[in-house]
Amino acid sequence: MKRTSQLLFVLYLLVVLIAGMLAPNYYIITRNTISELGAQGFPNAWLMRAGFFILGSAVTAMVFALSKTKRWSFLQASALMGLLIYAGALFILGWWSDKNFFVLDHNLDSFLHEFFYRISLLFFLLSVTLNAMVVKDKNFIILSVFTFCAVLILRYLFSEFVDYQGITERMMQVVVVYWLLKLNSVPEYFFSKIENDMGKIASTLVK
């Protein structure tokens, strides 16, 4: 499962790259967003929509890989549930495409797409916080703090500098996927260092 989710994460980044390369000349990578690659009536929109499904599937597979334990606390279950809700929002983003970006009026499709995008961002940040508390690894905690701050800063830059939304959103996606890959590679997800040390001492005493 972990290997599958890793491959899917990398595949998602490749989809974002390829979809941008296949976009028409009027699509400007530095300005236009990833969602616009999957907008209604946009050439090869199916590719970016599939990308959202791929990322959602990668997160779902990772959750199942990390949840193979019977020792769940409320915090641990909440951390996994946050990731599942994040994955669910990604699936909806892939299904409920935005209105084509060169159409100026904001219809229901555009509103709902933006709404679920904000939901996905909210639950990703919540997942970063909860999983940092669960893993209890110093390096992972530092990475999580960096990821949390980087996503907020990039989201602010995304809102303030419209001409560079394409760059800031792609940078955000790289930060998000890198954190997910690091979480996916955690060897013992539900056990802190203290619990591991206690387990080693207990096994030594039994021997």
**pLDDT tens per residue across span 118-163:** 888 899 999 999 988 888 788 999 999 999 999 999 999 999 998 9
Give a yes or no: residue 121 inside a domain: yes
Q: How much is the pLDDT for 110?
A: 67
Q: What is the number of structural domains in the chain?
A: 1
CA distances from 182 to 46, 140, 156, 185, 189 (A): 29, 8, 24, 5, 11
Q: How much is the pLDDT for 188?
A: 60
Residue 93 is encoded by which pair of tokens?
């983003």
Give a yes or no: residue 200 inside a domain: no
Q: Is the pLDDT of residue 34 over 80?
A: yes
Q: How much is the pLDDT for 135?
A: 84
Nearest to 138 by CA among 193, 188, 180: 193
Helix (H, G, I), strand (E, B) or coil at 29: coil
Give a yes or no: residue 206 inside a domain: no
Give the pLDDT band of residue 69 (cuts 50, 70, 90).
low
The rounded distance, in Å, linking the Cα atoms of 194 and 77 is 20
Give the pLDDT band of residue 196 (cuts 50, 70, 90).
very low
Give the chain's mean pLDDT.
Answer: 81
Give a yes or no: residue 202 inside a domain: no
Give a yes or no: residue 140 inside a domain: yes
Q: Domain range holding 180?
A: 2-195
Give a yes or no: residue 48 inside a domain: yes
Give a yes or no: residue 47 inside a domain: yes
Which of 8-22, 73-87, 107-121, 134-148 is predicted with the least confidence, judged by mean pLDDT? 107-121
The rounded distance, in Å, linking the Cα atoms of 144 and 131 is 8
Give a yes or no: residue 205 inside a domain: no
